[in-house]
Amino acid sequence: MSARRHVKESPSLLKALKKKGQQLAVALEAGQRRATALDLRKRGCSYREIGAALQVNTLTARKYVVDAIHEARGLEDEDAVLVRDLEIERLDTILGALWPKVLKGDTFSIQQALKVMERRSAYLGLDAPNRTEFLGAIATLTPDTVTKLSDEELAQRTQDLLLRLTGRQKAPEPEK
């Protein structure tokens, strides 16, 4: 039995197909309205102007724009995940190719494997964030102690702190 003949003989199936077609048409139109709203917003139109163009109120126009942005971000997030997964697969392939030589103790292969592992770890966010501590000048400064310092002492402490933060060494004190 052909599909066309089956549809003619089944009014309930025909009704369901028409309803599904209408739902798809509504969804397509809504997607087009969101895309149009976003395009108008990118061109600098206000929500009131977008609403007038699409024959909807200002709040609906704003909702179209916000929904379109969320859809676009979702696609970007999916693309980023796909790219990351592809890169992880590539790194795993490279590591797999290096591994037999690593097990044999080949130092060059070990170094390369470590670089691949570092890159893989960075992609996956497995490394703990770096902590930088500089306690000396900061630990001794409180609001009370700062107000008791002379201008010269405060300037010196500030200069010492800036030198520490920039990684430079403190200039040697001139001999008296």
Query: What is 33-56 written as a DSSP string?
Result: HHHHHHHHHHTT--HHHHHHHHTS
Whether residue 91 is found in the same domain as residue 34: yes
How many structural domains is the chain composed of?
A: 2
Cα separation of 9 and 4, whole Å? 9
Q: What is the dihedral of CA 27, 30, 34, 37, to 10 degrees?
A: 160
Give the closest residue to 125 by CA, choosing from 80, 165, 94, 76: 80
Whether residue 151 is found in the same domain as residue 104: no
- pLDDT tens, the chain, 176 aa long: 455 555 456 767 667 767 777 777 666 788 888 889 888 888 888 889 999 998 999 999 999 888 888 887 777 677 777 778 888 888 988 999 999 999 999 999 999 999 999 998 888 888 766 555 555 545 556 667 777 778 888 888 778 777 777 766 655 555 55
Asked if residue 75 belongs to a domain, the reply is yes
169 and 163 Cβ atoms separated by less than 8 Å: yes
Q: What residue numbers bound the domain in which 155 lies?
A: 136-166
Whether residue 153 is found in the same domain as residue 101: no
Asked if residue 1 belongs to a domain, the reply is no
Whether residue 34 is found in the same domain as residue 75: yes
Whether residue 70 is found in the same domain as residue 145: no
Whether residue 45 is found in the same domain as residue 107: yes
Cα separation of 149 and 22, whole Å? 78
Asked if residue 27 belongs to a domain, the reply is yes
CA atoms within 13 A on the CB side of 74: 6
CA distances from 90 to 64, 82, 120 (A): 39, 12, 10
Asked if residue 62 belongs to a domain, the reply is yes
Whether residue 68 is found in the same domain as residue 147: no
Asked if residue 21 belongs to a domain, the reply is yes
Residue 65 CB neighbour total at 10 angstroms = 21
pLDDT of res. 137: 46
Asked if residue 3 belongs to a domain, the reply is no
Between helix 11-42 and helix 47-54 the angle, nearest 10°, is 140
34 and 68 Cβ atoms separated by less than 8 Å: yes
Q: What is the largest CA-CA distance in the chain?
A: 110
pLDDT of res. 154: 80
Whether residue 82 is found in the same domain as residue 114: yes
Asked if residue 172 belongs to a domain, the reply is no
